[in-house]
Amino acid sequence: MKKLSKTTKNNLITYGMVILAYIIVQLLVSTGHVSSLVQGLLVPFCTYVIVAVALNLTVGILGELSLGHAGFMCVGAFSSAVFSLAFKEALPSGLRFFLALLIGAAAAALIGFLVGIPVLRLKGDYLAIVTLAFGEIIKNIINALYLGVDSNGLHFTMKDALSLNMEEDGMVLIKGAQGVTGTPNDSNFTIGVILILVTLFIVLNFINSRTGRAVMSIRDNRIAAESVGINVTKYKLIAFTVSASLAGVAGVLYAHNLSTLNALPKNFGYNMSIMILVFVVLGGIGNIRGSIIAAVLLTLLPEVLRGLSDYRMLIYSIVLIAMMIFNWSPNAIFFRKRLGQRFVGSKRAKKEA
Amino acid sequence: MALLEVKNLGISFGGLRAVNAFDITIEKGQLYGLIGPNGAGKTTIFNLLTGVYQPDEGAVILDGVNITGKKTIDICKAGIARTFQNIRLFGDMPVLDNVKVGLHNHHSYSTLEGILRLPRYYKVEKEMNEKAMELLKVFGLEEFAEYKAENLPYGQQRKLEIARAMATAPKLLLLDEPAAGMNPNETKELMDTIQFVRDHFDMTILLIEHDMKLVSGICEKLTVLNFGEILAQGVTQEVLNNPEVITAYLGS
């Protein structure tokens, strides 16, 4: 007889929760209980969940604050959108999206690796601010970039479409601030949920492996980790690269849900990075399941409150503050524990103590 | 041949000569004590031996291999493990995982094998779990395996730190004030543990300690350090009766 360990059980609950949510949403959609507005939000939900889980790997497991994850998302989105656009006719949609995913993840991983080399030498606040700067640099470069393809290969410039100097048959893929237009709409809610499950599989298995333990040991005590022979730089870079690459996956999903992709401050700027960080902090640093729930709730909330028009963002902020206090204030934690004990009974409380 | 040979080790921090002309020779299986008043440079020597600081001059030879100036992780691989004066555990991780991090370099599989849960993952993890549990049992910590390390009582945390150091399969174990903050009962238990580790693993141990009962109880040889220089060196009882040592500790 094999008893499931506590972590395995916890992980299975997380997977189960996602699958259950998927089934419920599908049922609601098929019975017509979901407004078209919310239906349009289903893929963005998946995007935010994936990127929140990815960021939690950096913030919760590696223990470093990154404010640049929107930048990695941006890299994943644009590299994959360009690929899909260029091979729009040449490849069947399934294969094309699969390859786009790999390209988006690899591109984001590469940029994550390159950014990680200097950034991971810093600590805490300094690291956060430098990642913020890198995120903005990535967004702004892509915003100014023109990329085209013709029989001679790829051309790029930062000036305008004409200075690409392409042949007659050339096609402009990225039109500077106008972004990428005509990306095939390859993603849908089902694919999004599958990608969430894949992300969870990668992140949860990563955490519960030799590599994950090495990363967490660095988070808990760098000097002790070094003293038992852990290569600090290597494991920090591995965790950061995996995290960036998964943010890239979220970007791929995002890009293939829109016909026009721009690198706006709204979707890839630091507002976005901070929003993702809010998901992670609210859901619990290092708590993967919490990130998922927080990402869904906080994306849904503004839509639910839409009827209140002008007061919407005010209420959103108040709810945010209230939830933070409820989740993290020591008094609130104590109150929750007492409440929990009264409901569940003293037996379980004893076990937890 | 001696297991550890240190010759003429020295380091300065700015104008301060923290350690000067430090020599020590430790034979295999010896339990060696390093004592001295506060600020004498004892922990600095540990930091020099484990590559936290690079010595300005001198040589460190472990089991015939020159490890002077190497990086901490290479020195760990060469066979020196240590504990810290202020306990440094991986507080948020389970006790078992603390030991498993110590096993990191001896039981290996790639990141990809870990993510994809290939057969090697299960095989190596099983080995690691067995090895780690074995070590926890030696230190009487097996019942706490699932606890978060930071939730252990103080004495057990000290033991866990030694267990984690032992997991790296060292040739030489450095203990930095293992009895600091312990009551007499805990200190007695710790003395038994240290002696047990030496006998059970045939380990060579160098320890820094202020508790004279512990030092005179288990150390075979002593080096006394004062203002970064060696004041006395030799068999424990002789050193402790040395008038200079008594002066350094109690004042004249």
pLDDT, tens digit (0-9, with 9 covering 90-100), for A223-238: 999 999 999 999 999 9
Query: By the CB < 8 Å criterion, does A238 face chain B?
Result: yes
- Please check whether residue B95 is in contact with residue B149, taking contact to mean a CB–CB distance below 8 angstroms: yes
Q: Which conformational region is residue B84 in: left (phi greater than 0), alpha (psi within -120 to 50 degrees), or beta?
A: beta
With vertex at residue A127, the alpha carbon angle to CA A121 and CA A131, rounded to the nearest 5 degrees, is 110
The amino acid occupying position A109 is: A
More confident residue, B183 or A153: B183
Interface contact A219-B77, CB threshold 8 A: no
Of residues A6, A202, A216, nearest to B90 (C-beta): A216
The amino acid occupying position A219 is: R
Query: By the CB < 8 Å criterion, does A202 face chain B?
Result: yes
- What is the per-residue pLDDT across B105-115, written as a single tens digit (0 to 9) for each? 999 999 999 99
Query: By the CB < 8 Å criterion, does A205 face chain B?
Result: yes
At A25, list the tokens.
Answer: 């949403």
Interface contact A213-B52, CB threshold 8 A: no
Say what the pTM is.
Answer: 0.91
Question: Distance (Å, rounded) from C-alpha A314 to C-alpha A320?
Answer: 10
Tell me, rounded to whole angstroms, the distance of Cα B186 from its chain centroid.
18
Query: By the CB < 8 Å criterion, does A8 face chain B?
Result: no
Question: Distance (Å, rounded) from C-alpha A55 to C-alpha A258?
Answer: 23
Q: What is the mean pLDDT of residues B72-92?
A: 94
Paired sense of beta strands B31-35 and B204-208, if any: parallel
Mean pLDDT, rounded, of chain B: 92
Question: Distance (Å, rounded) from C-alpha A19 to C-alpha A4?
Answer: 20
For chain B, domains (ranges, CATH) are 1-79+171-252 (3.40.50.300), 90-169 (no CATH)
**pLDDT at position A347:** 52
Q: Measure the N-to-C terminal CA separation of chain A; round to a whole number of Å.
A: 28
- What is the per-residue pLDDT across A65-110, written as a single tens digit (0 to 9) for each? 999 999 999 999 999 999 999 888 888 888 999 999 999 999 999 9
Residue A1: band (very low, low, confident or very high) from pLDDT cuts 50, 70, 90: very low
pLDDT of A346 strictly over 80: no
Looking at the complex, report in whole angstroms how far the Cα of residue B85 sits from the nearest Cα belonging to chain A.
Answer: 12
Residues in B touching A229 (Cβ below 8 Å): 73, 76-77, 104-105, 168
Looking at the complex, report in whole angstroms how far the Cα of residue B225 sits from the nearest Cα belonging to chain A.
Answer: 24
Q: What is the mean pLDDT of residues A245-249?
A: 97
Q: A339: helix, coil or strand? A: helix
Query: By the CB < 8 Å criterion, does A231 face chain B?
Result: yes
Q: Which conformational region is residue A41 in: left (phi greater than 0), alpha (psi within -120 to 50 degrees), or beta?
A: alpha
- Please check whether residue B91 is in contact with residue B164, taking contact to mean a CB–CB distance below 8 angstroms: no
Q: What is the mean pLDDT of residues B209-213?
A: 88
pLDDT of B40 strictly over 70: yes
Interface contact B115-A217, CB threshold 8 A: no
By CA distance, what is A6's nearest residue in B?
A: B146
- Please check whether residue B102 is in contact with residue A224, taking contact to mean a CB–CB distance below 8 angstroms: no
A and B: number of Cβ contacts within 8 A: 94
At A50, list the tokens.
Answer: 């994936």
DSSP element (H, E) containing B70: none
Paired sense of beta strands B172-176 and B221-226, if any: unpaired
Query: Any residues with CB less than 8 A from the CB of A39 and at least 6 apart, and which?
Result: A29
Kindly report the number of other CB atoms within 10 A of residue A116's CB atom: 25
C-alpha to C-alpha distances, A352 to A347, A348, B95, B147, B154, nearest whole angstrom:
9, 6, 17, 11, 21
Residue A349: band (very low, low, confident or very high) from pLDDT cuts 50, 70, 90: very low
User: A327: exposed, middle or buried (C-beta count within 10 Å: 0-12, 13-18, 19+)?
Assistant: middle
Query: Any residues with CB less than 8 A from the CB of B3 and at least 6 apart, and which?
Result: B26, B27, B28, B30, B62, B63, B171, B172, B204
Of residues A201, A229, A286, nearest to B105 (C-beta): A229
Concatenated DSSP letters for B183-237? -HHHHHHHHHHHHHHHHHHT-EEEEE---HHHHHHH-SEEEEEETTEEEEEEEHH
3-state DSSP of A51-114: HHHHHHHHHHHHCCCCCCHHHHHHHHHHHHHHHHHHCCCCCCHHHHHHHHHHHHHHHHHHHHHH
Looking at the complex, report in whole angstroms how far the Cα of residue A272 sits from the nearest Cα belonging to chain B.
Answer: 28
- Please check whether residue B164 is in contact with residue B102, taking contact to mean a CB–CB distance below 8 angstroms: yes
- Please check whether residue B56 is in contact with residue B10, taking contact to mean a CB–CB distance below 8 angstroms: yes
**pLDDT at position A3:** 57
Question: Distance (Å, rounded) from C-alpha A154 to C-alpha A156?
Answer: 7
Half-sphere exposure of A37 (CA within 13 A, CB side): 9
Angle between helices B184-201 and B154-167 (to 10 degrees): 20
pLDDT of A241 strictly over 70: yes
By CA distance, what is A209's nearest residue in B?
A: B114
